[in-house]
Structure 1
Amino acid sequence: MFYHMNRIWVLLLLGGFWDSGVRHVCGIDIYTPSEVEAVNGTSVKLKCTFRSNVRVSSQSVTVSWNFRPLNSGADESVFYYQEVPYPPQEGRFKGHAVWSGDVLKQDASITLHEVPPTFNGTYICQVRNRPDVHGQNGEIILKVVNKVSLSELNILVAAVGGACGVILILLGIFVAIRFFKKKRMENDIEMHPGEYDKGPDVW
Protein backbone atom coordinates (compact mmCIF):
# COMPACT_ATOMS: atom_id res chain seq x y z
CA MET A 1 0.00 0.00 0.00
CA PHE A 2 2.89 2.33 0.81
CA TYR A 3 4.19 1.70 -2.70
CA HIS A 4 0.87 2.63 -4.27
CA MET A 5 0.61 5.85 -2.21
CA ASN A 6 4.09 6.92 -3.27
CA ARG A 7 3.19 6.23 -6.87
CA ILE A 8 0.08 8.39 -6.62
CA TRP A 9 2.10 11.27 -5.12
CA VAL A 10 4.67 11.01 -7.89
CA LEU A 11 1.96 11.10 -10.55
CA LEU A 12 0.30 14.10 -8.91
CA LEU A 13 3.63 15.91 -8.69
CA LEU A 14 4.43 15.21 -12.33
CA GLY A 15 0.92 16.26 -13.29
CA GLY A 16 1.44 19.57 -11.50
CA PHE A 17 4.67 20.22 -13.39
CA TRP A 18 3.02 19.23 -16.65
CA ASP A 19 0.06 21.50 -15.99
CA SER A 20 2.39 24.36 -15.14
CA GLY A 21 4.36 23.71 -18.32
CA VAL A 22 1.23 23.77 -20.45
CA ARG A 23 0.24 27.12 -19.02
CA HIS A 24 3.67 28.52 -19.86
CA VAL A 25 3.59 27.17 -23.39
CA CYS A 26 0.16 28.64 -24.03
CA GLY A 27 0.77 31.78 -21.98
CA ILE A 28 2.09 34.11 -24.71
CA ASP A 29 -0.30 35.57 -27.28
CA ILE A 30 0.76 37.72 -30.23
CA TYR A 31 -1.53 40.24 -31.94
CA THR A 32 -1.01 41.77 -35.39
CA PRO A 33 -3.29 43.17 -38.10
CA SER A 34 -3.87 40.68 -40.89
CA GLU A 35 -3.14 43.17 -43.67
CA VAL A 36 -1.50 46.59 -44.05
CA GLU A 37 -1.35 48.85 -47.12
CA ALA A 38 1.36 51.43 -47.80
CA VAL A 39 2.00 53.86 -50.65
CA ASN A 40 5.21 53.28 -52.60
CA GLY A 41 8.03 55.35 -51.11
CA THR A 42 6.34 56.10 -47.77
CA SER A 43 6.83 54.70 -44.25
CA VAL A 44 4.60 52.08 -42.64
CA LYS A 45 4.41 50.75 -39.09
CA LEU A 46 4.05 46.99 -38.64
CA LYS A 47 2.27 46.74 -35.31
CA CYS A 48 2.85 43.68 -33.15
CA THR A 49 1.79 43.43 -29.50
CA PHE A 50 1.88 40.48 -27.13
CA ARG A 51 0.57 39.26 -23.80
CA SER A 52 2.39 36.89 -21.47
CA ASN A 53 1.52 35.33 -18.12
CA VAL A 54 5.20 35.55 -17.20
CA ARG A 55 6.65 38.84 -15.96
CA VAL A 56 8.06 40.86 -18.83
CA SER A 57 11.53 42.38 -18.61
CA SER A 58 13.98 43.78 -21.13
CA GLN A 59 16.27 40.79 -20.49
CA SER A 60 13.64 38.07 -20.90
CA VAL A 61 12.04 39.16 -24.20
CA THR A 62 13.37 38.42 -27.67
CA VAL A 63 11.70 39.62 -30.87
CA SER A 64 12.32 38.30 -34.38
CA TRP A 65 10.81 39.75 -37.55
CA ASN A 66 11.05 37.72 -40.76
CA PHE A 67 9.86 38.30 -44.32
CA ARG A 68 8.32 35.81 -46.72
CA PRO A 69 8.26 37.04 -50.37
CA LEU A 70 5.20 36.73 -52.60
CA ASN A 71 6.89 33.99 -54.64
CA SER A 72 7.11 31.86 -51.46
CA GLY A 73 10.87 31.96 -51.45
CA ALA A 74 13.06 31.48 -48.39
CA ASP A 75 12.28 33.64 -45.36
CA GLU A 76 14.53 36.65 -44.83
CA SER A 77 15.49 38.29 -41.54
CA VAL A 78 14.05 41.78 -41.14
CA PHE A 79 14.82 42.73 -37.53
CA TYR A 80 15.96 41.27 -34.21
CA TYR A 81 15.63 42.55 -30.66
CA GLN A 82 17.25 41.25 -27.49
CA GLU A 83 17.73 43.87 -24.78
CA VAL A 84 18.64 46.31 -27.56
CA PRO A 85 17.51 46.61 -31.20
CA TYR A 86 19.58 44.91 -33.89
CA PRO A 87 18.63 46.45 -37.27
CA PRO A 88 19.65 44.55 -40.41
CA GLN A 89 23.20 45.16 -41.62
CA GLU A 90 22.67 43.69 -45.09
CA GLY A 91 19.93 42.67 -47.49
CA ARG A 92 16.90 44.49 -48.81
CA PHE A 93 15.86 45.83 -45.39
CA LYS A 94 19.16 47.50 -44.50
CA GLY A 95 18.48 51.16 -43.74
CA HIS A 96 14.72 50.61 -43.96
CA ALA A 97 13.74 48.74 -40.77
CA VAL A 98 13.77 50.56 -37.41
CA TRP A 99 12.53 49.61 -33.94
CA SER A 100 9.21 51.21 -32.89
CA GLY A 101 8.28 49.02 -29.95
CA ASP A 102 8.67 48.90 -26.17
CA VAL A 103 8.86 45.40 -24.71
CA LEU A 104 7.99 46.68 -21.23
CA LYS A 105 4.69 47.84 -22.74
CA GLN A 106 4.39 44.51 -24.56
CA ASP A 107 4.91 46.20 -27.92
CA ALA A 108 7.21 44.59 -30.52
CA SER A 109 6.42 46.84 -33.48
CA ILE A 110 8.83 47.98 -36.19
CA THR A 111 8.63 50.65 -38.89
CA LEU A 112 9.71 50.31 -42.52
CA HIS A 113 10.87 53.51 -44.22
CA GLU A 114 10.57 54.31 -47.95
CA VAL A 115 8.96 51.00 -48.85
CA PRO A 116 9.41 49.85 -52.49
CA PRO A 117 7.23 47.28 -54.31
CA THR A 118 9.81 44.57 -53.50
CA PHE A 119 8.59 44.77 -49.88
CA ASN A 120 5.29 43.14 -50.86
CA GLY A 121 4.86 39.93 -48.89
CA THR A 122 4.19 38.46 -45.45
CA TYR A 123 5.92 39.73 -42.31
CA ILE A 124 6.16 37.35 -39.37
CA CYS A 125 6.45 38.65 -35.80
CA GLN A 126 7.86 36.14 -33.30
CA VAL A 127 8.01 37.08 -29.61
CA ARG A 128 9.46 34.92 -26.83
CA ASN A 129 9.40 35.76 -23.13
CA ARG A 130 11.30 33.10 -21.20
CA PRO A 131 10.02 30.66 -20.09
CA ASP A 132 7.22 31.38 -22.61
CA VAL A 133 9.20 30.12 -25.58
CA HIS A 134 6.30 28.68 -27.59
CA GLY A 135 3.24 30.19 -29.17
CA GLN A 136 1.67 31.26 -32.43
CA ASN A 137 3.48 33.91 -34.48
CA GLY A 138 1.80 37.02 -35.80
CA GLU A 139 1.61 37.49 -39.57
CA ILE A 140 1.00 40.68 -41.56
CA ILE A 141 0.49 40.88 -45.31
CA LEU A 142 1.98 44.14 -46.62
CA LYS A 143 0.69 45.57 -49.89
CA VAL A 144 2.74 48.37 -51.44
CA VAL A 145 0.58 50.36 -53.88
CA ASN A 146 1.56 52.96 -56.45
CA LYS A 147 0.65 56.64 -56.24
CA VAL A 148 0.32 59.44 -58.76
CA SER A 149 3.70 61.06 -59.20
CA LEU A 150 4.15 64.75 -58.40
CA SER A 151 4.69 65.69 -62.06
CA GLU A 152 1.53 63.88 -63.14
CA LEU A 153 -0.40 65.54 -60.32
CA ASN A 154 0.87 68.97 -61.34
CA ILE A 155 -0.16 68.35 -64.95
CA LEU A 156 -3.63 67.27 -63.82
CA VAL A 157 -4.05 70.32 -61.57
CA ALA A 158 -2.84 72.65 -64.35
CA ALA A 159 -5.23 71.10 -66.88
CA VAL A 160 -8.23 71.37 -64.57
CA GLY A 161 -7.25 74.91 -63.55
CA GLY A 162 -6.80 75.94 -67.19
CA ALA A 163 -10.18 74.54 -68.19
CA CYS A 164 -11.87 76.35 -65.31
CA GLY A 165 -10.07 79.56 -66.26
CA VAL A 166 -11.25 79.36 -69.89
CA ILE A 167 -14.84 78.73 -68.77
CA LEU A 168 -14.74 81.73 -66.43
CA ILE A 169 -13.31 83.98 -69.17
CA LEU A 170 -16.02 82.93 -71.66
CA LEU A 171 -18.69 83.42 -69.03
CA GLY A 172 -17.32 86.88 -68.26
CA ILE A 173 -17.33 87.84 -71.97
CA PHE A 174 -20.92 86.61 -72.35
CA VAL A 175 -22.11 88.59 -69.32
CA ALA A 176 -20.24 91.70 -70.49
CA ILE A 177 -21.82 91.52 -73.98
CA ARG A 178 -25.31 91.15 -72.50
CA PHE A 179 -24.65 94.05 -70.14
CA PHE A 180 -23.42 96.41 -72.89
CA LYS A 181 -26.30 95.49 -75.21
CA LYS A 182 -28.80 96.22 -72.49
CA LYS A 183 -27.04 99.48 -71.61
CA ARG A 184 -26.99 100.62 -75.27
CA MET A 185 -30.67 99.86 -75.66
CA GLU A 186 -31.48 101.89 -72.56
CA ASN A 187 -29.41 104.80 -73.92
CA ASP A 188 -31.19 104.62 -77.31
CA ILE A 189 -34.57 104.76 -75.59
CA GLU A 190 -33.52 107.79 -73.57
CA MET A 191 -32.18 109.61 -76.68
CA HIS A 192 -35.10 108.77 -79.03
CA PRO A 193 -38.14 108.09 -76.87
CA GLY A 194 -40.63 108.93 -79.66
CA GLU A 195 -39.38 106.22 -82.01
CA TYR A 196 -40.10 103.49 -79.46
CA ASP A 197 -43.65 104.86 -78.89
CA LYS A 198 -44.78 104.23 -82.51
CA GLY A 199 -46.94 101.27 -83.42
CA PRO A 200 -45.74 98.02 -84.92
CA ASP A 201 -46.72 99.13 -88.48
CA VAL A 202 -43.81 101.56 -88.52
CA TRP A 203 -41.34 98.76 -88.08
Structure 2
Amino acid sequence: MLKIAVHGSHRQLLVLIGLVASGVPWVRGITAYTSSEQEAVNGTSTRLKCTFQTSEPVSSSSVTVTWTFRPQGQSHEESVLYYNEKPIMVDSGLFHKQVEWAGDIMRKDASITLRNVKFSYNGTFTCRVTNAPDVHGRAGELRLRVVTSASVSEITILAAAIGGGILLMLIILIAVVTVKHYQRKHEDIEEHCPSEKGSTMCQVEEATHLHVMEEKAHFERPASRASASSLKDEGEKLCDNSVVVLD
Protein backbone atom coordinates (compact mmCIF):
# COMPACT_ATOMS: atom_id res chain seq x y z
CA MET A 1 0.00 0.00 0.00
CA LEU A 2 2.81 2.38 0.86
CA LYS A 3 4.49 1.61 -2.44
CA ILE A 4 1.29 2.48 -4.36
CA ALA A 5 0.90 5.76 -2.49
CA VAL A 6 4.47 6.71 -3.28
CA HIS A 7 3.99 5.88 -6.93
CA GLY A 8 0.76 7.97 -6.95
CA SER A 9 2.47 11.02 -5.44
CA HIS A 10 5.37 10.61 -7.84
CA ARG A 11 2.96 10.52 -10.79
CA GLN A 12 1.21 13.75 -9.61
CA LEU A 13 4.56 15.47 -9.26
CA LEU A 14 5.53 14.45 -12.78
CA VAL A 15 2.22 15.80 -14.13
CA LEU A 16 2.78 19.12 -12.37
CA ILE A 17 6.32 19.41 -13.73
CA GLY A 18 5.02 18.62 -17.20
CA LEU A 19 2.39 21.37 -17.01
CA VAL A 20 4.95 23.95 -15.93
CA ALA A 21 7.40 22.87 -18.63
CA SER A 22 4.71 23.01 -21.31
CA GLY A 23 3.87 26.63 -20.48
CA VAL A 24 0.35 26.00 -19.20
CA PRO A 25 -0.39 28.85 -16.74
CA TRP A 26 -0.81 27.91 -13.11
CA VAL A 27 -4.28 29.08 -12.07
CA ARG A 28 -4.51 30.71 -8.65
CA GLY A 29 -7.62 31.70 -6.75
CA ILE A 30 -8.92 35.28 -6.65
CA THR A 31 -11.07 36.33 -3.70
CA ALA A 32 -13.65 39.11 -3.49
CA TYR A 33 -14.51 40.55 -0.07
CA THR A 34 -17.80 42.19 0.96
CA SER A 35 -19.70 42.71 4.18
CA SER A 36 -22.00 39.81 4.94
CA GLU A 37 -24.91 42.16 5.70
CA GLN A 38 -25.69 45.83 5.19
CA GLU A 39 -28.59 48.14 6.03
CA ALA A 40 -29.87 50.99 3.84
CA VAL A 41 -32.65 53.53 4.36
CA ASN A 42 -35.39 53.60 1.74
CA GLY A 43 -34.97 56.48 -0.74
CA THR A 44 -31.29 57.13 0.04
CA SER A 45 -28.04 56.17 -1.69
CA THR A 46 -25.78 53.47 -0.30
CA ARG A 47 -22.33 52.17 -1.25
CA LEU A 48 -21.82 48.43 -1.64
CA LYS A 49 -18.15 47.88 -0.91
CA CYS A 50 -16.25 45.08 -2.65
CA THR A 51 -12.48 44.60 -2.61
CA PHE A 52 -10.46 41.75 -4.07
CA GLN A 53 -7.15 39.98 -3.59
CA THR A 54 -5.19 38.46 -6.46
CA SER A 55 -1.67 37.18 -6.94
CA GLU A 56 -1.47 38.44 -10.53
CA PRO A 57 -0.55 41.99 -11.59
CA VAL A 58 -3.61 44.23 -11.82
CA SER A 59 -4.50 46.39 -14.81
CA SER A 60 -7.71 47.96 -16.04
CA SER A 61 -7.73 45.63 -19.05
CA SER A 62 -7.10 42.37 -17.17
CA VAL A 63 -9.78 42.75 -14.48
CA THR A 64 -13.49 42.13 -14.96
CA VAL A 65 -16.16 42.73 -12.34
CA THR A 66 -19.69 41.36 -12.37
CA TRP A 67 -22.37 42.47 -9.92
CA THR A 68 -25.62 40.51 -9.75
CA PHE A 69 -28.70 40.59 -7.52
CA ARG A 70 -30.88 37.79 -6.19
CA PRO A 71 -34.18 38.98 -4.67
CA GLN A 72 -35.04 37.78 -1.20
CA GLY A 73 -36.70 34.37 -1.27
CA GLN A 74 -36.00 33.81 -4.99
CA SER A 75 -33.39 31.86 -6.92
CA HIS A 76 -32.96 33.79 -10.18
CA GLU A 77 -30.28 36.49 -10.51
CA GLU A 78 -30.51 39.88 -12.19
CA SER A 79 -27.62 41.85 -13.68
CA VAL A 80 -26.61 45.00 -11.82
CA LEU A 81 -23.33 46.15 -13.43
CA TYR A 82 -20.46 44.78 -15.50
CA TYR A 83 -16.94 46.23 -15.62
CA ASN A 84 -14.36 45.58 -18.34
CA GLU A 85 -11.93 48.50 -18.76
CA LYS A 86 -14.94 50.72 -18.03
CA PRO A 87 -18.28 50.26 -16.22
CA ILE A 88 -21.13 48.99 -18.38
CA MET A 89 -24.57 49.74 -16.94
CA VAL A 90 -27.69 47.69 -17.58
CA ASP A 91 -30.12 49.27 -20.05
CA SER A 92 -33.26 47.81 -18.50
CA GLY A 93 -34.58 46.13 -15.41
CA LEU A 94 -34.64 46.98 -11.73
CA PHE A 95 -31.25 48.73 -11.71
CA HIS A 96 -31.54 50.78 -14.91
CA LYS A 97 -30.02 54.23 -14.17
CA GLN A 98 -29.87 53.34 -10.47
CA VAL A 99 -26.23 52.22 -10.19
CA GLU A 100 -22.92 54.12 -10.21
CA TRP A 101 -19.40 52.71 -10.40
CA ALA A 102 -17.59 53.63 -7.15
CA GLY A 103 -14.48 51.46 -7.41
CA ASP A 104 -10.83 51.80 -8.39
CA ILE A 105 -9.37 48.74 -10.09
CA MET A 106 -5.76 49.76 -9.47
CA ARG A 107 -6.54 49.84 -5.75
CA LYS A 108 -8.36 46.51 -5.97
CA ASP A 109 -11.68 48.15 -5.27
CA ALA A 110 -14.79 46.99 -7.17
CA SER A 111 -17.45 48.89 -5.20
CA ILE A 112 -20.70 50.32 -6.57
CA THR A 113 -23.29 52.83 -5.33
CA LEU A 114 -27.04 52.24 -5.42
CA ARG A 115 -29.13 55.38 -5.85
CA ASN A 116 -32.64 55.86 -4.52
CA VAL A 117 -32.74 52.53 -2.69
CA LYS A 118 -36.10 50.75 -2.86
CA PHE A 119 -37.66 48.00 -0.78
CA SER A 120 -37.40 45.77 -3.86
CA TYR A 121 -33.60 45.83 -3.32
CA ASN A 122 -33.98 43.52 -0.33
CA GLY A 123 -31.89 40.50 -1.22
CA THR A 124 -28.34 39.32 -1.92
CA PHE A 125 -25.83 41.21 -4.06
CA THR A 126 -22.90 39.20 -5.43
CA CYS A 127 -19.54 40.65 -6.48
CA ARG A 128 -17.45 38.41 -8.79
CA VAL A 129 -13.97 39.46 -9.91
CA THR A 130 -11.52 37.88 -12.37
CA ASN A 131 -7.97 38.88 -13.22
CA ALA A 132 -6.67 36.67 -16.02
CA PRO A 133 -5.20 34.15 -15.63
CA ASP A 134 -6.56 34.38 -12.07
CA VAL A 135 -10.15 33.54 -12.98
CA HIS A 136 -11.27 31.06 -10.33
CA GLY A 137 -11.92 31.92 -6.73
CA ARG A 138 -14.52 33.05 -4.24
CA ALA A 139 -17.17 35.71 -4.87
CA GLY A 140 -18.34 38.15 -2.24
CA GLU A 141 -21.99 38.05 -1.15
CA LEU A 142 -23.74 40.89 0.65
CA ARG A 143 -27.28 40.73 1.98
CA LEU A 144 -28.98 44.13 1.83
CA ARG A 145 -31.79 45.07 4.20
CA VAL A 146 -33.85 48.12 3.24
CA VAL A 147 -35.52 49.88 6.18
CA THR A 148 -37.74 52.93 6.64
CA SER A 149 -35.34 54.70 9.03
CA ALA A 150 -31.89 54.26 10.50
CA SER A 151 -31.56 51.74 13.30
CA VAL A 152 -31.30 52.85 16.93
CA SER A 153 -27.64 51.91 17.11
CA GLU A 154 -26.73 54.17 14.19
CA ILE A 155 -28.75 57.06 15.64
CA THR A 156 -27.07 56.56 19.01
CA ILE A 157 -23.61 56.58 17.46
CA LEU A 158 -24.41 59.73 15.48
CA ALA A 159 -25.83 61.52 18.54
CA ALA A 160 -22.81 60.53 20.63
CA ALA A 161 -20.44 61.84 17.97
CA ILE A 162 -22.28 65.18 17.74
CA GLY A 163 -22.51 65.51 21.53
CA GLY A 164 -18.83 64.72 21.95
CA GLY A 165 -17.89 67.35 19.38
CA ILE A 166 -20.01 70.02 21.09
CA LEU A 167 -18.56 69.15 24.51
CA LEU A 168 -15.02 69.38 23.16
CA MET A 169 -15.73 72.81 21.66
CA LEU A 170 -17.15 74.05 24.99
CA ILE A 171 -14.07 72.83 26.87
CA ILE A 172 -11.77 74.61 24.42
CA LEU A 173 -13.84 77.82 24.65
CA ILE A 174 -13.76 77.80 28.47
CA ALA A 175 -10.00 77.22 28.44
CA VAL A 176 -9.42 80.13 26.03
CA VAL A 177 -11.60 82.52 28.07
CA THR A 178 -9.84 81.51 31.31
CA VAL A 179 -6.38 82.06 29.83
CA LYS A 180 -7.41 85.46 28.43
CA HIS A 181 -8.81 86.49 31.82
CA TYR A 182 -5.61 85.63 33.70
CA GLN A 183 -3.45 87.29 31.06
CA ARG A 184 -5.45 90.52 31.35
CA LYS A 185 -5.27 90.37 35.15
CA HIS A 186 -1.51 89.86 35.03
CA GLU A 187 -1.09 92.79 32.64
CA ASP A 188 -3.06 95.06 35.02
CA ILE A 189 -0.80 94.04 37.92
CA GLU A 190 2.36 94.75 35.93
CA GLU A 191 0.96 98.12 34.80
CA HIS A 192 0.28 99.39 38.32
CA CYS A 193 3.09 97.73 40.24
CA PRO A 194 6.85 98.36 39.89
CA SER A 195 8.77 95.27 38.95
CA GLU A 196 12.26 94.13 39.76
CA LYS A 197 13.99 91.33 37.84
CA GLY A 198 10.73 90.23 36.31
CA SER A 199 8.79 89.83 39.60
CA THR A 200 6.05 92.20 40.78
CA MET A 201 6.64 94.18 44.01
CA CYS A 202 3.02 94.49 45.12
CA GLN A 203 -0.05 92.34 45.46
CA VAL A 204 -3.34 92.51 43.67
CA GLU A 205 -4.94 94.57 46.46
CA GLU A 206 -2.15 97.15 46.26
CA ALA A 207 -2.49 97.38 42.49
CA THR A 208 -6.21 97.96 42.86
CA HIS A 209 -5.58 100.69 45.46
CA LEU A 210 -3.08 102.43 43.18
CA HIS A 211 -5.55 102.27 40.32
CA VAL A 212 -8.27 103.87 42.48
CA MET A 213 -5.89 106.62 43.59
CA GLU A 214 -5.00 107.39 39.97
CA GLU A 215 -8.67 107.63 39.05
CA LYS A 216 -9.31 109.95 42.02
CA ALA A 217 -6.39 112.18 41.06
CA HIS A 218 -7.66 112.30 37.50
CA PHE A 219 -11.04 113.62 38.62
CA GLU A 220 -9.53 116.09 41.14
CA ARG A 221 -7.19 117.74 38.61
CA PRO A 222 -9.92 119.78 36.84
CA ALA A 223 -11.15 121.08 40.21
CA SER A 224 -7.63 122.18 41.14
CA ARG A 225 -7.25 123.95 37.82
CA ALA A 226 -10.60 125.71 38.40
CA SER A 227 -9.49 126.88 41.89
CA ALA A 228 -6.23 128.26 40.53
CA SER A 229 -8.11 130.10 37.79
CA SER A 230 -10.51 131.61 40.34
CA LEU A 231 -7.63 132.85 42.49
CA LYS A 232 -6.03 134.44 39.45
CA ASP A 233 -9.27 136.26 38.60
CA GLU A 234 -9.64 137.50 42.18
CA GLY A 235 -6.08 138.80 42.11
CA GLU A 236 -6.70 140.71 38.90
CA LYS A 237 -9.84 142.27 40.40
CA LEU A 238 -7.91 143.43 43.48
CA CYS A 239 -5.28 144.98 41.26
CA ASP A 240 -7.94 146.88 39.33
CA ASN A 241 -9.50 148.16 42.54
CA SER A 242 -6.12 149.33 43.76
CA VAL A 243 -5.61 151.33 40.60
CA VAL A 244 -8.96 153.05 41.05
CA VAL A 245 -8.14 154.10 44.63
CA LEU A 246 -4.83 155.58 43.56
CA ASP A 247 -6.57 157.68 40.95
- TM-score range (shorter-chain normalised) is 0.5 to 0.7
Counterparts of 2:12 and 2:77, CA distance in 1: 48
In the TM superposition, 1:84-163 aligns within 5 A as: 84-147=86-149
Counterparts of 2:31 and 2:13, CA distance in 1: 33
Task: Indicate if the aligned counterparts of 2:50 and 2:109 stay in contact, CA closer than 8 A.
Answer: yes
Counterparts of 1:12 and 1:133, CA distance in 2: 19
The alignment-based identity, stated in percent, is: 47
Please state whether the residue corresponding to 1:128 is helix, strand or coil: strand
Aligned length: 139
Q: Give, as a single letter, the amino acid of the residue that structure 2 aligns with 1:115.
A: V
Please state whether the residue corresponding to 1:62 is helix, strand or coil: strand
Unaligned stretches of 5+ in structure 1? Answer: 1-6, 149-203
| 1:41 aligns with one of 31, 40, 43 | 43
Query: Which entry has the higher C-alpha Rg, 1 or 2?
Result: 2
Q: CA deviation at 1:85?
A: 0.6
Aligned CA distance change for structure 1 residues 71 and 134 (closer, same or farther; 3 Å): same
Residue equivalent to 1:14: 18
Structure holding more helix per residue:
2
Counterparts of 2:12 and 2:91, CA distance in 1: 56
Q: Give, as a single letter, the amino acid of the residue that structure 1 aligns with 2:91.
A: Q
Q: Deviations over 1:171-192 (max 9, x none)?
A: xxxxxxxxxxxxxxxxxxxxxx
Unaligned stretches of 5+ in structure 2? Answer: 1-10, 151-247
Q: Give, as a single letter, the amino acid of the residue that structure 1 aligns with 2:110.
A: A
Residue equivalent to 1:196: none
Q: How does the TM-score come out when normalised to structure 1? A: 0.63
Please state whether the residue corresponding to 1:135 is helix, strand or coil: strand
Aligned CA distance change for structure 1 residues 38 and 11 (closer, same or farther; 3 Å): closer
Q: Give, as a single letter, the amino acid of the residue that structure 2 aligns with 1:63.
A: V
| 1:60 aligns with one of 38, 62, 65 | 62
Aligned CA distance change for structure 1 residues 9 and 73 (closer, same or farther; 3 Å): closer
Aligned CA distance change for structure 1 residues 93 and 10 (closer, same or farther; 3 Å): same
Aligned CA distance change for structure 1 residues 56 and 12 (closer, same or farther; 3 Å): closer
Q: How does the TM-score come out when normalised to structure 2? A: 0.52
Counterparts of 1:61 and 1:9, CA distance in 2: 31
Please state whether the residue corresponding to 2:136 is helix, strand or coil: coil
Aligned CA distance change for structure 1 residues 11 and 122 (closer, same or farther; 3 Å): closer
Residue equivalent to 1:70: 72
